[in-house]
């Protein structure tokens, strides 16, 4: 049950990384203390100065934990920075189905859950997001883009998203991914990874500390996706124009 207290925006900075149990308790307090019908913006993040917690399952935030926020159906902006996140396609689909007004969705994990080699969400999650959130303009989600879905129950075209951040997302076939994303998000123009923003000198200095040897290769493949999307969109529009003659 939600409170009648009319708050539209909540932003919380934790002094240290909360455990998953602490975060769940906070979600419960939030649900009880704030009006589900009025909350439009929610930001949760640890302090910039917070030390990394021990690598234990206690700090892995699950999809079930996030689903506690489904009551906030008026939410337009959700920004979450957490130590580790363990979500899959089903969890993402269930979550965004409750947020039809969403404009910003940033699910940022400092590290991948300890028992995972790579992120669990796939490109299927992007279809779910496109279907449920027609007004979304900015998305941060790490995914496994090595599998390209071939069919969906319905065709979805979401024309609002123009910014996608993929962190360290896996990718092997940039052209196939570009073709898929161009059909979902024809106005997507900016794709960034965890390796964007630095200089080549910085890269050289940090090479010994590289957490993933394939990281910069992934960045290049995602940049190929970014550059190819407009070509697929233009080709589809040209085909549609010819088909209407």
Tens digits of residue pLDDT in 18-27:
899 999 888 8
Strands 9-14 and 60-62: unpaired
pLDDT at 212: 52
In a domain, 238, yes or no: yes
In a domain, 3, yes or no: no
DSSP 8-state symbol, 144: B
Burial of residue 72, with CB atoms counted within 10 A of its CB: 0-12 exposed, 13-18 middle, 19 or more buried: buried
From CA 178, how far away is CA 175, in angstroms rounded?
A: 5
Beta bridge partners of residue 104, listed in sequence order: 77, 138
Beta-carbon contacts of 23 under 8 Å, excluding residues fewer than 6 positions away, are 44, 61, 65, 82
Residue found under tokens 């939030």: 30
pLDDT at 204: 40
pLDDT at 64 over 50: yes
DSSP 8-state symbol, 105: E
pLDDT at 199: 37
Q: Cβ(129)–Cβ(96) under 8 Å?
A: yes
pLDDT at 110: 78
From CA 177, how far away is CA 37, in angstroms rounded?
A: 37
pLDDT at 74: 92
pLDDT at 166 over 50: yes
Instruction: Give the tens place of pLDDT for each residue, 206-222.
Output: 444 445 556 788 999 99
Question: Quick check: pTM over 0.75?
Answer: yes
In a domain, 145, yes or no: yes
Which of 237, 120, 121, 123 minimizes the C-alpha distance to 180?
123
In a domain, 2, yes or no: no
From CA 4, how far away is CA 19, in angstroms rounded?
A: 28
Beta bridge partners of residue 43, listed in sequence order: 11, 79
From CA 104, how far away is CA 137, in angstroms rounded?
A: 6
Q: If you average pLDDT over residues 78-100, what whole number do you get?
A: 93
Q: Cβ(39)–Cβ(6) under 8 Å?
A: no
In a domain, 213, yes or no: yes
From CA 142, how far away is CA 84, in angstroms rounded?
A: 12
Name the strand (E) or helix (H) holding 215: helix 215-243
In a domain, 1, yes or no: no
The per-residue DSSP string of 59-80 comes to: GEEEHHHHGGGGG-TT--EEEE
pLDDT at 196: 83
Instruction: Give the tens place of pLDDT for each residue, 172-208.
Output: 999 999 999 999 999 999 999 988 864 333 444 344 4
pLDDT at 208: 42
Residue found under tokens 């910014």: 163
Q: If you average pLDDT over residues 155-179, what whole number do you get?
A: 95
DSSP 8-state symbol, 93: H
In a domain, 202, yes or no: yes
Instruction: Give the tens place of pLDDT for each residue, 109-145.
Output: 877 544 454 558 999 999 999 999 999 999 999 999 9
Q: Please count the structural domains in the chain.
A: 1
Q: CATH number of the domain that 190 lies in?
A: 3.80.10.10
Over pLDDT 70: what percentage of the chain? 84
pLDDT at 242: 77
From CA 11, how far away is CA 13, in angstroms rounded?
A: 7
pLDDT at 200: 39
Mean pLDDT of the chain: 85
In a domain, 4, yes or no: no
From CA 242, how far away is CA 237, in angstroms rounded?
A: 9
- Residue 234 domain boundaries: 9-243
Over pLDDT 90: what percentage of the chain? 50
């Amino acid at each position: 049950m939600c409170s009648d207290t009319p708050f539209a925006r909540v932003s919380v900075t934790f002094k240290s990384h909360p455990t998953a149990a602490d975060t769940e308790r906070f979600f419960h307090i939030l649900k009880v203390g704030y009006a589900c019908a009025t909350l439009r913006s929610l930001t949760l993040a640890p302090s910039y100065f917070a030390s990394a917690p021990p690598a234990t399952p206690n700090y892995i935030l699950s999809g079930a934990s996030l689903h506690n926020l489904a009551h906030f159906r008026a939410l337009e902006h959700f920004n979450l920075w957490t130590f580790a996140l363990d979500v899959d396609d089903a969890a993402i689909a269930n979550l965004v189905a409750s947020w039809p007004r969403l404009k910003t969705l940033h699910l940022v994990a400092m590290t991948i859950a300890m028992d995972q080699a790579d992120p669990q969400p796939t490109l299927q999650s992007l279809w779910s997001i496109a279907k449920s959130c027609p007004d979304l303009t900015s998305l941060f989600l790490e995914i496994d883009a090595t599998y390209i879905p071939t069919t969906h129950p319905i065709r979805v075209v979401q024309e609002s998203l123009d910014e996608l951040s993929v962190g360290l997302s896996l990718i092997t076939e940039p052209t196939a991914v570009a073709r898929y994303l161009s059909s979902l998000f024809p106005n997507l123009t900016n794709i960034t990874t965890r390796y964007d923003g630095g200089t080549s000198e910085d890269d050289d200095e940090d090479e010994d500390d590289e957490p993933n040897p394939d990281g910069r290769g992934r960045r290049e493949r995602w940049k190929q996706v970014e550059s190819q999307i407009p070509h697929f969109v233009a080709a589809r529009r040209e085909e549609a124009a010819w088909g209407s003659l």
